[in-house]
Structure 1
């Protein structure tokens, strides 16, 4: 047995002194906390489930709770533990030495499946600096979308203001709930499977009806909802408890170029296709794997979403709709079969020090 195999299969002792089972990839069930908007049919079809009304988001390998909740949003492992608690008990095995040195027991990543059964409201998310100052959290919420599927005649996302917008105009739109002006101010981008959209913190955005994505994001549930009427119960649910006078300070009001934020990757081939460029590295990484036969992956904490085909991920049988979390200590995991999958990983630690 190689040293890698021995490391992956030898029981470990966590901080409490309890022996853990061998560290291997783990298949995950759907985890769909209640949301305020419609959707879920695409998730049910993807996961081969009959219950299409469970909700429009599936939080995969989540150690993050919904805003102001104690447990809602967390992933439960097959052995009954919260993934959050398992990582906290043994962060080095789960995340690797380098990551654990920088982030401790924080995975620094949240992955979701999101099925927009209606257009989502115009909203944005705070930056690291804003979250640290006003919300007591290291992470803001930069995110990115990988389009898995679309339906309907006009699958569109809206990303960033087309022109610079004065603070007074944004405040007026929010105060009067002028949805048409908000939408007109954004860049509309028609999307198709394989497209990726990088959404920096602060940039206003909305996902249109019929767009089904894998979403990578920083591990928070911080949203400032500019367009709350018709979506949230009241304005109080839209500003993170800060009041809109303060919350709107996080809005990026400068014009954004879709060419800088959107990539068309469907035609890209090769065993591994990097889905984002270097601007995403301080927040998360993702590649699309095209395996026909076998492929060995370097050790890393990872969250896998299988798009097509069937095979194995280490000892775990996978097929379209499978989601799997892989601990760093699983070592060099081998993928076999004919499989197309998205591998999501935390930020590159080296990119934080550049």
Structure 2
């Protein structure tokens, strides 16, 4: 590694370039606007992946091996976060994390802007991921709504969880005849607003509706079982993209067929925030914590002037939701704006976020899996 290149030795926060990924659904206009774009349109790049060491799984795009992979935002250099971690995992991830998870961060985060409803889908839990995909990680995930838009006169919404009465036999029959409305009628539909947070455990059927702008934090895989063969905008979905290589019959093993009422579903998977720290109108709020899932944690920092953050020997991601300012850490100083993202190595003991603009400064902190049992 060329040590003359700044900020790649694990001692300072690393600014990451936006990493977009192709998906079967349309969206992304609001992500373009976050980065200052004007008159942008939706496309098949509706997601920006954050602190990603995972490449997207897209049929016909296998040659684009870096799609979705995070790289350092340093001009004229092509350095992925994955390559840095592979070279020195303890420096970047911390000794305790490395001893438990090796050189895998154990987490992936994304910004998602859905210009249309996503197909009804499910992700495997860890047990099914090991059994069907030989993977140590499933894809439990969490959605935190940060914005949105009305599409065709309808506000943002999500589908989550089976209603009482749904059975595997009925679910498979709906797939066989491709009764899309019947599928949607099996799921609970919720209209959402900024600040709402949902946990989607592996095995839980779901679909992000149109008009959602959200941050998703998840286990680091891209295993998505889709049960619609045509997307809402008319894209024919390849069979592999439906069953991910395990076949149409086995893919139904990925679903958890437990059913819940509407209120029970919210009680189980709607997550309420809690204030962790507040000093002089600067605070950190936990959006989802290890008491909700051992697989990841996410907090929101709200800064009126400045706030000091202690890392405690673990790595994290940082995404600027609004405002502008600077990061200061042991001789390191860098200005940032809305939409900027960083990887904060475990060696960075503490840092200070300073609000240097006129707008409210809000940033998300993204954490990997719990280290202690």
TM-score normalised by structure 1 residue count: 0.88
Residue of structure 1 equivalent to 2:156? 155
Distance 1:245 1:156 in 2: 30
Deviation at 1:97, TM superposition (A): 1.1
C-alpha change, 1:320 and 1:57, in structure 2 (3 Å) is: same
CA displacement 1:25-73 (0-9 Å, x = unmatched): 1222221122211111100111213455562000111100112744322
From 56, 66, 82, the equivalent of 2:46 is 56
CA offsets, 1:296-339, max 9 Å, x none?
Answer: 21223111111122211232212222211111112211112252
1:294 aligned residue? 306
Question: 1:241, 1:275 → 2: CA distance?
Answer: 34
- State the shift of 1:229 in Å: 2.2
User: Cα 1:267–1:207, aligned 2, differ >3 Å: closer, same or farther?
Assistant: farther
Cα RMSD (Å): 2.4
Secondary structure at the aligned position of 1:349 is classed as: coil
- Aligned partner of 2:271 in structure 1 is 263
- Alignment of 1:309 onto 2:313: no
Give the match for residue 85 of structure 1. 83
1:266 Cα deviation after fit: 10
User: Counterparts of 1:329-348 in structure 2 under 5 Å?
Assistant: 329-337=347-355, 339-348=361-370
Instruction: Check whether the contact 1:187–1:258 (CA below 8 A) recurs between aligned residues.
Output: no
- 1:1-354 alignment runs, 5 A limit: 21=9, 23-50=11-38, 52-53=41-42, 55-67=45-57, 69=62, 70-77=65-72, 78=74, 79-152=77-150, 153-230=154-231, 231-256=235-260, 257-263=265-271, 265=273, 270=278, 271-299=283-311, 300-314=314-328, 315-337=333-355, 339-350=361-372, 353=373
Deviation at residue 278 of structure 1 after TM alignment? 4.0
3-state secondary structure, aligned to 1:38: coil
Of Structure 1 and Structure 2, the greater helix share is in: 1
Compute the displacement of 1:96 (Å). Answer: 0.9
Instruction: Decide whether the 8 Å contact of 1:177 with 1:229 is kept in 2.
Output: no
What SS does the corresponding residue of 2:249 show, helix, strand or coil?
Answer: helix
Q: From the superposition, tell whether residues 279 and 228 of structure 1 become closer, same or farther in structure 2 (CA, over 3 Å).
A: farther
Distance 2:8 2:218 in 1: 29
Distance 2:351 2:322 in 1: 19
Shift of residue 294 of structure 1?
2.3
In 2, distance between residues paired with 1:235 and 1:131? 19
Cα gap change, 1:72/1:211 in structure 2, threshold over 3 Å: closer, same or farther? same
Whole-angstrom distance in 1 between the partners of 2:275 and 2:10? 39
Q: Unmatched 5+ residue regions in structure 1?
A: 1-10, 13-18
Q: Indicate if the aligned counterparts of 1:229 and 1:235 stay in contact, CA closer than 8 A.
A: no
Q: Is the 8 A contact 1:141 1:218 kept in 2?
A: yes
What is the CA–CA distance in structure 1 between the aligned matches of 2:10 and 2:120, rounded to whole Å?
A: 45
| Aligned-partner SS, 2:323 | strand
Give SS of 1:99's match: helix
1:174 CA displacement? 1.2
Distance in 1 between residues matched to 2:50 and 2:290, nearest whole Å = 24
Q: 3-state DSSP class of the match of 1:100?
A: helix
SS of 1:203 mapped into structure 2: coil
Supply the distance in 1 between the matched residues of 2:351 and 2:66 (Cα, whole angstroms). 31
